[in-house]
Amino acid sequence: MRRTPEPYLWLLFSGGGVVAALLLPVLVLLFGVLMPLGVVDWPAAEHLRALLDSPPVRVALVVVVVLCLFHAAHRVRHTSEELFGIARFDVVIALLCYGGAVAGGVVAAVLMV
């Protein structure tokens, strides 16, 4: 019996879905609605810089980005295969989708260093 990485990809998909569902709406509400309307004050640049100086915050941001990228990659892979009927190119599509997620994760990690 041949082992497949599919369970791990589904794990990353579900982890990314949880992160996207719990954290991104709050960030969009704060930075996209409340702060531009003046309901909540914008944080000072020094405060944000001090926040990003903390290694746990940097690691958490990289984890959020990576999980969201893998969630999107998995969704794009399976949706495109079903909608367009191109399941015969599964390996190529998987390499493109997950390769893009890995590349985005590397970029996020480099930016945080």
Span 28-46, pLDDT tens digits? 999 999 999 999 999 999 9
Q: Quick one: 4 exposed, middle or buried, by C-beta within 10 A (0-12, 13-18, 19+)?
A: exposed
Q: Decide if 44 is inside a domain.
A: yes
Per-residue confidence band for 3, with pLDDT thresholds at 50, 70 and 90: confident
Number of compact structural domains in the chain:
1
Containing domain of residue 58, as a range?
A: 13-112
Report the CATH number at residue 85.
1.20.1300.10
Q: Decide if 29 is inside a domain.
A: yes
Q: Decide if 4 is inside a domain.
A: no
Tens of pLDDT, residue by residue over 6-26, are 888 899 999 999 999 999 899
Q: Decide if 51 is inside a domain.
A: yes
Q: Decide if 59 is inside a domain.
A: yes
Distances 74 to 53, 62, 65, 66, 95 between C-alpha atoms, Å: 32, 18, 14, 12, 11
Q: Decide if 8 is inside a domain.
A: no
Is-contact 48 106, C-beta < 8 A? no
* Alpha carbon distance 21, 87 (integer Å): 28
Q: Answer yes or no: is pLDDT of 113 > 90.
A: no
Q: Decide if 7 is inside a domain.
A: no
- pTM here is 0.83
* pLDDT for the residue numbered 82: 87
